[in-house]
Amino acid sequence: MEMRRSAVSAVAVVLVLALSPPPAVADGGWMEAHATFYGDESGAETMQGACGYGDLFQQGYGLDTTALSVALFSDGWACGGCYEIQCHGSPDCKPDPVTVTATNLCPANYSKPNENWCNPPLKHFDLSKPVFLRLVTDFRVGIIPVHYRRVPCAKKGGIRIEITGNQFWIGVLVFNVAGSGEVKALAVKGSGDGQWRDMKRNWGQIWDGDVHRLVGQGLSFSVVASDGRSVLLDSVVPATWAIGQSFEGKGQF
């Protein structure tokens, strides 16, 4: 993913970090990070990505999204989580915060440890350009200091399940998850045998298991969020399902 980096030197980066004020609202759960953007006003470059989502407009996320630095991405477990972000400490800041969903990874570049803001242990948000412009008066500012905090995700409709893969492998994408937004466990049950099967997270929010054995059966799913709450999506997928189709459950957090 192409990154937008400010033209500051490594020395200036160190000075910026050293002079950043302590969290002004730490008692409200806010923490310090930095943010920039990638792509243009259309948001085309924010589609797809390391969480396994596809067309973010069709899936309900739109442009209110962010790629997370390695320190925040948690190897993909953070996909789907929501963050409130507010610019601070820059003359280019606008006053209002934005709320975004994590849909991608901002990759590390270990060959340039002093230039890549996504290298651990830095906490960084790579936003769509339209969202970045809601935080600043001029996108050419490049990188800005921000406060951020986790917030509940507000989504329209029920949790959605998409059947993905090919003739050799079938996976499941879980998206449009409200509440914590992050899925920590998933189980599937076929209508033919009624047996629950635990699934494993393959990458991002793509899960796999014995779905290939359930072709021709209706599918139910048990979704467990990172906060421990669970939702049963009973018979959410009909027996006629095919790869590439998505289905909306009646349950939501």
How confident is the prediction for the chain on average, in pLDDT?
Answer: 88
State the pLDDT at residue 24.
35
Domain at 10-151, CATH from 3.40.50.720, 3.20.20.140, 2.40.40.10, 3.20.20.60: 2.40.40.10
Q: So where are the chain's domains?
A: 10-151, 160-248
- Terminal-to-terminal C-alpha distance of the chain: 32
State pTM to two decimals. Answer: 0.85
User: d(Cα 82, Cα 182) in Å, to the nearest integer?
Assistant: 9
Cβ contact 98:84 at 8 Å: yes
DSSP letter for each residue of 178-200:
-BT--EEEEEEEETTT--EEE-E
User: d(Cα 170, Cα 241) in Å, to the nearest integer?
Assistant: 12
pLDDT of 42 > 90? The answer is no
Cβ contact 29:147 at 8 Å: no
User: d(Cα 38, Cα 99) in Å, to the nearest integer?
Assistant: 17
pLDDT in tens, 101-154: 999 999 998 888 777 899 999 999 999 999 999 999 999 998 999 999 999 999
10-151 and 160-248 agree in CATH topology: no
pLDDT of 3 > 60? The answer is no
State the pLDDT at residue 28.
54
State the pLDDT at residue 174.
98
CATH superfamily of 160-248: Expansin, cellulose-binding-like domain (2.60.40.760)
Residues 160-188: what's their mean pLDDT?
96
